[in-house]
Amino acid sequence: MRYNKLIFVVGVFFLVALVSAVHAGEYKIGPGDILDISVWKNPDLSKQVAVLPDGNIHFPLVKELKVEGLSVEELEDMLIGKLKKYVPEPDLFVSIVQVNSMLIYVIGKVNKPGRFAISKNIDVLQALAVAGGLNAFAKEKEIGIFRKANGKTNHFNFNYEEVSEGNKLEQNITLKRGDVIVVR
């Protein structure tokens, strides 16, 4: 019995580690995030850095690096390439200590409008729930999602009445960093 519990616990830890690794590869670094960069056997090059509003970090020897939009793995590869000039065979590890860049905004006729920090991907219905739901004056059929990408703003319509009845569920899109939901 004890052996089965041990196997179960080990299996759960393995599954959690696997899921975390997959999500870490998907996550893109953004302004405000706190990163821990550790260079093995080199404490002078091991430090925590904040991603600045312009998407850059400052790191010894390599000075300023644009990291916004990179995955952890991409940043590790970039740092290894830059540090090779100064450190023979650099062995480093980058981790995200704190996610501060995953922000969405919900404005208009909701009970708690505002800016919300999210720690995982959420959809429109979940964001409306975080904002306290629609208030009594909201027009359920007139909700818009605004998303900036590559200097262009895209607009998506969301009909709360249809989606909450289980129809046209494709409107319930997964939100991305910086999305704005406007409830009329």
* 59, 116: one domain: no
Instruction: Return the CATH number at 178.
Output: 3.10.560.10
H or E segment and range at residue 164? helix 160-164
**pLDDT tens digits, residue range 111-149?**
999 999 998 899 999 999 999 999 999 999 999 999 999
Q: Taking the mean position of all CA atoms in its chain, how far away is CA 55?
A: 14
* 118, 176: one domain: yes
Choosing from 81, 98, 115, the residue where a domain stops is 98
The domain total for the chain is: 2
**pLDDT tens digits, residue range 73-121?**
999 999 999 999 999 999 999 999 999 999 999 999 999 999 999 988 9
* Structural domain span for residue 157: 103-183
* 89, 120: one domain: no
> Is the pLDDT score of 20 beyond 50?
no
pTM across the whole model: 0.74
**pLDDT tens digits, residue range 34-59?**
999 999 999 999 999 999 999 999 99
Residue 81 domain-assigned?
Answer: yes
Residue 46 domain-assigned?
Answer: yes
Four-CA torsion 105, 170, 138, 154, nearest 10 degrees = 50
Residue 15 domain-assigned?
Answer: no
Q: Which residues contact 74 (CB under 8 A, 6 or more apart)?
A: none
**How would you class 131 by CB atoms within 10 Å of its CB: exposed for 0-12, middle for 13-18, buried for 19 or more?**
buried
Residue type present at position 41: K
Query: Confidence band (pLDDT; 50, 70, 90) for 71?
Result: very high
